[in-house]
Amino acid sequence: MFAFIARQPILDREKDVFAYELQFRDGKGGAYPELEPEKAQYIAQHFHPLGLDDISGDKKSFIHFNPDTLISRFPTSLDPDLVVVQLNEPMRATAGLQEACAHIKALGFKIAVDDPLMVSGSHDIFPLIDILKVDVTRTKYDLIERNIPRYLDANISLVAEQVNTHEDFDSCRSLGFDLFQGYFFSTPEVRIQRHLPASKMNLVDLMGESARGDFSINRINQIIERDAALSFLLLKFINNPTVNKRYKITSLKHALTYMGEVEIKKFIALLSLANLGDDKPLELIHMSLVRAKFFDLLSQQRGINTDPPIGFLVGLFSMLDALLDQDMPDVLKQLPLSDTVNDALLGKTDEFNSYVALTRAFEGALWMNIIKQAKILDIDQKRLHALYNQAIQWGNGVRSTISAYFPRPVIR
C-alpha cells in the first residue's frame, strides 16, 4: 500500500501501454520502500494509499529494488504476473545478489536490468535477464546497434529509455527495441494538415458548449442530433457501470436530470476529446484524463469557480497540441473555448501554470518540485499526493470505459 508514488508509462511497438515503471518517494533512488510498521500504519490510516491495481490498472508494474531488499527482504505479497523486478546496478555485484535473483525468477518474476552500458554477455547476471533497459541518450548508437542482435538471440526484450521525440521512436523501433519509455507520444508530430477535418466539427461545437457559463440543453441536443453515431456513443458510454452504476439513461435530457449541468459539461468535454484523439495512443487520452481530474480537484481545493468546470477543462485540453499535431495557438484558433480556458492553455495564468508544473512533477517523480508548488498553492504536499492518487484512480476507471469504444490505431 503506497501513498507517495509516481508512474511513467512503458509503451510497446504499437504505442499501447505495456507497463508502468513506479517510483516511490519513500524509497532510496525511487526504489520499493521499506517502511517501519508504525509509518506504514500511519500512511494506511491517513492517506488512503493505493495498491498496485489502483496505480497500474491491468498493466504490469516495473519496480526497482535495492540489492539488500532482493537478498533478504523481498516482499512475498507481490504477484509475479503483474510485477517486473527491476535492478538498476547489475555491475555492482553484492554477495548473494545472484542467488536472490535466481530465486526470484524461480518464483515466476521477470528480471529487468537498467544498464546504460549494456551489460556484457559474460556477466553472471546475463542468463537471468528477461528485459534490458537502455538509455538511448547516454549510450552510443553504434554500441547499441552492435549489441542488439546478441540480446535478441538470448530472447531478451529491449526497452529504449529517454525516447522523447517521434524520430527517436522510429529509430529505436527500427533497431529492434520492443518497448519504449519517454514522452515522445505526448508531443505533436509534424503533419501537413493544419486544420481540423469537417468530420470533427460537431465535436468542436460540443467542446465549446462545455466551456460556456450559460448551459443550453437544446443547443447540445441540436449538435448531437446532427451526428447519429455520436448520439449512440454518448448514450452507450454514459450507461457504462464505471460512469453510471445506478440508472439506465435513455436521453441527454435524462442524463442532465441525473448528473446535473456541471457533470454533463465535463462528460461532453471528455467525450469530445476522446473522439478528437481517436487516432492517437490511448495513453495520451489517459494522461489528459488524470490531468483533468487533478486540476478539477485542485480548483475545488483552491475555491475556484467550478461552473463552467474551468480546472477540469484546462487539464483535459492541456495536451490538445499533441492530440491534434498542431501548436497550441493554432489549435485554439479553431476551437470556441472561453478566454479563461484559452489563456490558461497558453500559459498566461499563474494559477494553472502551477497546476501544470505540479502535474509534470508527479509524472516525472520530481519530489522537490512538488514541495515547491505546494508552498505556492498553499496546499499541504501530502494532500497533493492524495488528490493525485484520486485522479489516477478516476483516470484508470474512465480509461477502461473509453478503451472499449476506441480501439488502438494500427502503427505501420
Q: Where are the domains of the chain?
A: 5-186, 198-403
Q: Give exposure, 368-391, as e/b (b: 16+ Cβ within 10 Å).
A: eebebbbeebebebeebbbbbbbb
For 210, residues 6+ apart whose C-beta sits below 8 A from its C-beta are: 265, 266, 268, 269, 272, 308, 313
User: Per residue of the chain (412 residues), what is the pLDDT tens digit?
Assistant: 567 888 899 999 999 999 999 988 877 777 888 766 666 665 555 555 567 777 888 899 999 988 888 888 888 788 899 999 998 865 565 668 888 888 999 999 999 998 756 666 667 778 889 999 998 887 777 888 888 888 888 899 999 999 999 999 999 999 899 999 998 988 887 654 556 666 677 778 878 877 777 777 778 777 777 777 677 777 777 776 666 667 787 777 777 777 777 888 888 888 888 877 777 888 998 999 999 999 999 999 998 877 788 999 999 999 988 888 888 998 888 888 889 999 999 999 999 999 999 999 999 889 999 999 999 999 999 899 989 999 998 888 888 777 765 555 444 4
Q: Say what the pLDDT of residue 412 is.
A: 40
3-state secondary structure of 213: coil
Supply the pLDDT for residue 12. Answer: 95
CB atoms within 10 A of CB 49: 19
Output the pLDDT for position 411: 43
Residue 245: count other Cβ atoms within 10 Å of its Cβ: 7
pTM: 0.84
- CATH of 198-403, picked from 3.10.20.740, 1.10.3210.10, 3.20.20.70, 1.50.10.10, is 1.10.3210.10
Q: Are 311 and 304 in contact (CB under 8 A)?
A: yes
Alpha carbon 157 to its chain's center: 22
Structural element, H or E, at residue 111? strand 110-114
pLDDT at site 295? 96
With vertex at residue 86, the alpha carbon angle to CA 81 and CA 91, rounded to the nearest 5 degrees, is 145
Answer for the pair 216, 254: CB distance below 8 angstroms, yes or no: no
User: At 10, is the secondary structure helix, strand, or coil?
Assistant: strand
**Which fold would CATH assign to domain 5-186?**
TIM Barrel (3.20.20)
| Cβ proximity of 20 and 62 under 8 Å | yes
Residue pointed to by grid coordinates 515503471? 21
Alpha helices in 58-164 (DSSP H): 67-72, 97-106, 141-153
